[in-house]
Amino acid sequence: ETGVTQSPTHLIKTRGQQVTLRCSSQSGHNTVSWYQQALGQGPQFIFQYYREEENGRGNFPPRFSGLQFPNYSSELNVNALELDDSALYLCASSFIGGGGETQYFGPGTRLLVL
């Protein structure tokens, strides 16, 4: 177990709706990254938050947005859901500043858009 938790575990939404996914990072970590993993594919980087600021973004449209809170937990918000947004959403926590950082993943939230 990594200590990274995500909620909810599963979610069903309809096209056009909005969704918020939550992540609690591992104790001692200050950075949260979000990834989208479509079925049969590797995770794709959405964005990263460090010290409550966006610290890098992948090739995702602005309707994907996020927040990081002072306790380093994070939210991923997706507006105007599309069918292709159906995927496993993974949160990964890490510590920037100590050298040799790597990312530890939570169990993911499985989103189905109908």
Partner 1 sequence: QKEVEQDPGPLSVPEGAIVSLNCTYSNSAFQYFMWYRQYSRKGPELLMYTYSSGNKEDGRFTAQVDKSSKYISLFIRDSQPSDSATYLCAMSANTGNQFYFGTGTSLTVIP
Q: Is 103 in the site for partner 1 (CB under 8 A)?
A: yes
Q: How far is the CB of 109 from partner 1 (least distance, A)?
A: 10
Q: Is 114 exposed, middle or buried (0-12, 13-18, 19+ CB in 10 A)?
A: exposed
Of 25 and 33, nearer to partner 1 (C-beta) is 33
Q: Is 48 in the site for partner 1 (CB under 8 A)?
A: yes
Beta bridge partners of 19: 78
Is the Cβ–Cβ distance between 88 and 8 less than 8 Å? no
Q: How far is the CB of 20 from partner 1 (least distance, A)?
A: 19
The Cα–Cα gap between 113 and 68 comes to: 25
Q: Which residues bind partner 1 (CB under 8 A)?
A: 2, 4, 6, 31, 33, 35, 40-45, 48, 50, 55-56, 58, 90, 92, 94, 96, 99-108, 110
